[in-house]
Amino acid sequence: MPYVMVDVESDGPIPGDYSMISFGAIIVEPQLNRTFYGQLQPISEKFIPDALAVSGFDREATLAFADPAEVMTSFRDWLKANCKGRCLFISDNNGFDWQFINWYFHHFVGTNPFGFSSTNLGSLYKGLVKDTFVNFKHLRKTKHTHNPVDDARGNAEALLTMKDKMELKISLD
Residues 6+ away with beta carbon under 8 Å from 139: 125, 157, 158, 161, 162
Residues 6+ away with beta carbon under 8 Å from 146: 9, 54, 55, 56
- Residue 120: strand, helix, or coil: strand
CA distance 151 to 2: 18
Q: Which residue, among 78, 121, 75, has the nearest Cα to 97 in the 3D structure?
A: 121
Active site residue 146: yes
Q: Which residues are catalytic?
A: 146
